[in-house]
Amino acid sequence: MGTWRIAWRNVFRNPRRTGIVVTAVAVGVAGAVLTMATNYGMIFQMVENAIARDLGHVQVHAPGYADDPGIEHRLPDGGRAIAREIEADSRVRACAPRLRGEALVFSPRASSGASLVGVDPAREREVTRVADSLVEGEYLGAGRRFVLLGVPMAHRLSVGVGDKVVISVQDAAGDLTGEAFRVAGVYDTASRDFDGTTIFLPLATAQALYGVDGDVSELTIVARDRGEVEALRDALAARVGDAALVRSWDQTQPLLRYMVEMFDQMGWIVYAAVFVAMAFGIANVMLMAVHERIREIGILMAIGMPPRRLVGIITVESLVLTTLGLVLGLGLALWGVAALHDGIDLSRWAAGLSDFGVGARIVPVLRPDDLTVPAVAAAVTALLASLWPATRAARLRPAEAVRHT
398 touching another protein, by CB under 8 A:
yes
**Neighbour tally for 337: CB within 10 Å:** 19
Cβ proximity of 188 and 148 under 8 Å: no
DSSP one-letter string for 296-330: HHHHHHHTT--HHHHHHHHHHHHHHHHHHHHHHHH
Site membership for another protein, residue 2 (CB under 8 A): yes
Among 306, 344, 355, 380, binds another protein (CB under 8 A): 306
- Shortest spacing between CB 317 and another protein, in angstroms: 11
- Interface mask (CB under 8 A) for another protein, residues 247-286, using x and -? ----------------------------------------
Among 10, 35, 107, 217, interactor with another protein by CB under 8 A: 10
| Cα–Cα separations (whole angstroms), residue 311 to 2, 276, 315, 377, 389 | 13, 21, 6, 20, 9
| Interaction of residue 305 with another protein, rule CB under 8 A | yes
CB-wise, 14 or 39, nearer to another protein?
14
Tell the smallest beta-carbon distance from residue 405 to another protein (Å). Answer: 9
Q: Which is nearer to another protein, 84 or 291 (CB)?
A: 291
Binding residue for another protein (CB under 8 A) from 145, 164, 291, 397? 397
Pick the piece of the chain touching another protein (CB under 8 A) from 57-65, 126-134, 162-170, 296-304. Answer: 296-304
> Which residues touch 258 (CB under 8 Å, ≥6 apart)?
none
Q: Based on the shown chain and the rule CB under 8 A, indicate whether residue 81 belongs to the binding site for another protein.
A: no
Q: How many residues bind another protein (CB under 8 A)?
A: 24
Are residues 33 and 374 in contact, defined by beta-carbon separation less than 8 angstroms?
yes
> How far is the C-alpha of 211 from the C-alpha of 215, rounded, in Å?
9
**Maximum pairwise Cα distance, the chain:** 99
Q: Taking CB under 8 A as the rule, does residue 322 contact another protein?
A: no
333 by Cβ neighbours in 10 Å (0-12 / 13-18 / 19+) ranks as buried
Say whether 67 sits in a helix, a strand or coil.
coil
396 is an interface residue for another protein by CB under 8 A? no
Q: Residue 55 or 396: which CB sits closer to another protein?
A: 396
Q: Does 17 bind another protein (CB under 8 A)?
A: no
Asked if 6 touches another protein (CB under 8 A), the answer is yes
Question: Which one of 66-74, 85-93, 371-379, 393-401 is the stretch in contact with another protein (CB under 8 A)?
Answer: 393-401
Amino acid symbol at 316: V
Number of H helices and E strands in the chain, helices first, is: 15, 12
Binding site for another protein (CB under 8 A): 1-2, 6, 9-10, 13, 295-296, 299-309, 397-399, 402-403
